[in-house]
Each structure stands twice: as C-alpha cells, then as structure tokens.
Amino acid sequence: MNWANYLLQVNFYLILGFGFYWLLLRKETFYSANRYFLLANSLLAVLIPFWNIGLIESWFVTEQVSSAIAVVPLEEFTVTPLMEKPTWSWNLLGASIYFLGFGFGLLRFSLSLFKLQQLLRIKNLRGQAFSIFGKVFIDKKLDDYRTIRLHEEVHSRQFHSIDVFWMELLAVICWFNPAVLWMRKEIKVIHEFIADEIAARHLGSAQKYAQVLVSSHFNADSNVLINNFYNNSILKTRIMKLAQQKSKSGASFKYTLALPLVGIMLIVATACSDKKSEITSKGYISPDKEDIFMSVEEAPEFPGGVAKMYEYLGSELVYPREAKENSIEGRVFVKFVVNKEGEVGDFEILKGIGSGCEDEAIRVLKSMPGWNPGKQDGKPVNVYFTMPILFKLE
C-alpha cells in the first residue's frame, strides 16, 4: 500500500465519522461521549488502513499463506527498473502540493509550540487563565477566581491538552480535509462544554455561571495548544449550551449506530487491499480442478530448465511505470497451474502490492511457452505452482 492510498483512506474515514457526528450527535448534551467518539473515530481512521498491508492479518495463519505453502514453490525472481529519463508526473505534482501544505502546517504547529514555551515562562499571569497538560495557570487577582480555577481544573484532570495536540497533528497531516479542521475546532468546543457543565454544577446554578462568563475579561492568549477559559468566538454558544435542556437517556442509542461505521471502514479497507487481485483464471481454465496435484513424483519443467525460465522472465518482465512513480516495492505471489498438456493458466494472485505489478506478472507468465508436464504414476497430470516475484527499486 502506497502513502497516497493510505492518506486517501484515512481522510475518507475521517469524513465518514465526522459526518455521522455532525448529523446525529452534535446537538446532544452527552459531551464526554461526543469527545470520545471524535477521538475514537480519528484513531480508527489512522489505524484501520493498516489492515490492508498485513500487519494484523500476519498475526494469524490465513488461507492465502496456507495456499502458498501447500503448492509447489518456485524460487523468487527479482524485477528492477531500467534507468530512464525523468518524465513529468501528475503524481509528483500532487505530492509536491501535499508536502507544501504539510510543511506549512508543520511550521504553524512549531510556532505554536515555541509560543507556548514562551507563555509558560511568563511569571506575571496578569489577566491569564488557561491549562496545559495537567497544569493550571490563573491570575489570582481575577474576579471569580475559584469558579474559573474549577473550570480549568476540569481541563487539567481530563487531560484535554492531549486531545488538542493530537488534533493539531492530524490537521498537519490532513491539512486539505475540511472535516479535520472542523473536528479540531469541535473538540475544543466540547472541552469547554464539559468544563462549563461541571463548574456550573459545583456553583449550584447555570445562570450564575453564565454571568461569570459574560462578566469575565481576560488578556486571552490566542495559542491553539492551550485550553483558555475565555474564548469570545464561542462564548455565545457556551451560554446557550448551559441553558439547553439535557438530552434524554434514550438518545444515547445513537452511539450504537456508529458500529456499522466500523464495518464500512473495514469493507473499504478490504476493497482497497492489494493482497489479492481481481485477476484470476487468465489463460486456460482447468476443466476439473479436483485433478490438480499439489505435489507430484515428477514436477513440470520449463523448456531448458529453471535457469532458462528465469532468463525468460528477466527478458520479459518490465517494472510498471505507476509502481515506479509511487515508489512501490514488494512481493507478488502468483499461483498457477501447469496442465497435462504443459499449458500454463488458472492464474491467481495470492498476495499483491498494486500499481500494475500483478498485471505485469500475469502478462509475462501467461506468455510463457509450453512446459514439459508433470507426471504422477507415469501419467501426465495438472500441477499447482507458486511464483514469488520481487519488485524492487534500485
């Protein structure tokens, strides 16, 4: 799986999950549940695509591995590209644009870290009230100091800063995805809803707490990496949420509807998997697969022997252009049959890497001349083979 495939999958899953949140969950007052939903969706989006590259499947004995071991194996053949003059590539243009945006986002994140470092060194917290990674920083001279501190301690205890940093990093990687930018903003708003709800409960009145919000004036820092008590842009929303009627417990069933989302993600991951190609049954189709042997007394042989076969493959196989442009490397395992007449066919990809490598492997194997058929008890029989072909960039 190449990086572009991975990136597209991640962003599709992020859009899918955030769309579900926006349509069904955003207006509910289950703020902690909404927080965990957005975090879980972002983590799943990043991890699920790894399903296609075998990091998860490799923990188990799969049918593909069993099939590859069960049939007559051939030695691995390595394909390397010939040196060519550089050509214009839309993939290169797309990659350049992406990494420009990535670089800008990384610079922005780095500047925020530097600004945060400078902020934490300030000894005079005049007009400041914020929290970061379990620590609370408040000017003790502020009006309603205890209420404000209670609010910031919620951020501190629940480690909301971790969410903020994670979303900022995700926004650097997926800078072109508006769903990620909205999610980054939404998670900080949810943090304020959670802290406001708990602080208002301790104060004993949502109305009194709303008055604290309205009457508070700070020298609010604009650093995106901190949880700041005073944020004028969402002040009205926070006050409205305090007055909003709490969601009924029955509305929590909506979160169970998110389970099919995981199923959709896994289906997409499987569909995008390069492990098994759609290319099957090219060449002849064996009339009776029950008569195909896994191993025989006398194995089929390429005309002139194994050395000639690899010489033939070396002269015919070409590194696919798409694979070169996307820096795709890896092994393609092809399963095929040499039938009683020495014809090669019934091709099946047991493991692939995409970008045209499977097509190229099938094309060349299909074009091979007839073999000397294998024999069992002195009679010609159909025999399975597996051919590992390594595509490797020099």
Lookup: tokens for 7: 């990136």
pLDDT of residue 13: 93
More confident residue, 300 or 122: 300
**Of 107-116, 291-300, 333-342, which range is least confident?**
291-300
Classified as helix, coil or strand, 22 is helix
Mean of all residue pLDDT scores within the chain: 80
Q: How long, in residues, is the chain?
A: 394
pLDDT of residue 273: 60
Band of the pLDDT at 3, cuts 50, 70, 90? Answer: confident
Q: Which residue has the tokens 């944020």?
A: 231
User: Could you give the CA distance from residue 165 to residue 186 in angstroms, rounded to a whole number?
Assistant: 14
Give the number of C-alpha atoms closer than 13 A to the C-alpha of residue 267, restricted to the C-beta side. Answer: 6
pLDDT of residue 64: 45
Residue pair 102/213 in contact (Cβ under 8 Å)? The answer is no
Q: What is the pLDDT of residues 278-289, one digit of tens each?
A: 444 344 444 455
Average of per-residue pLDDT across 29-47: 93
| 248 DSSP assignment | P
pLDDT of residue 229: 62
pTM for the structure as a whole: 0.60
User: Could you give the CA distance from residue 315 to residue 333 in angstroms, rounded to a whole number?
Assistant: 19
Determine the residue type at 247.
S
Band of the pLDDT at 227, cuts 50, 70, 90? Answer: low
Residue pair 67/195 in contact (Cβ under 8 Å)? The answer is no
Domains, in order of start, for the chain: 3-62+88-267 (no CATH), 274-391 (3.30.2420.10)
pLDDT of residue 251: 87
